[in-house]
Chain A
Amino acid sequence: DTEVTQTPKHLVMGMTNKKSLKCEQHMGHRAMYWYKQKAKKPPELMFVYSYEKLSINESVPSRFSPECPNSSLLNLHLHALQPEDSALYLCASSQGPGGPREPQHFGDGTRLSIL
Chain B
Amino acid sequence: RKEVEQDPGPFNVPEGATVAFNCTYSNSASQSFFWYRQDCRKEPKLLMSVYSSGNEDGRFTAQLNRASQYISLLIRDSKLSDSATYLCVVDGGATNKLIFGTGTLLAVQP
A residues sitting closer than 8 Å to B (CB atoms) are 2, 41-43, 45, 48, 55-56, 88, 90, 98-109, 111
Contacts and interface: CB of A to CB of B under 8 A. Distances in A.
Interface of B: 31-32, 34, 41-46, 49, 87, 91-92, 96-98, 100-103
Question: What secondary structure prevails in chain A residues at the interface with B?
Answer: loop
Contacts of A88: 41
A106 B46 CA distance: 9
Contacts, number: 48
Question: What secondary structure prevails in chain B residues at the interface with A?
Answer: loop
The residue among B87, B92, B100 with the most chain A CB atoms within 10 A of its own CB is B100
Given A100-B92, A101-B31, A105-B46, A42 B98 contact: no
A101 B91 contact: yes
A86 B91 CA distance: 27
Contacts of A98: 96
Nearest to A44: B100
B102 A100 contact: no
Given A55-B96, A104-B98, A42 B103 contact: yes
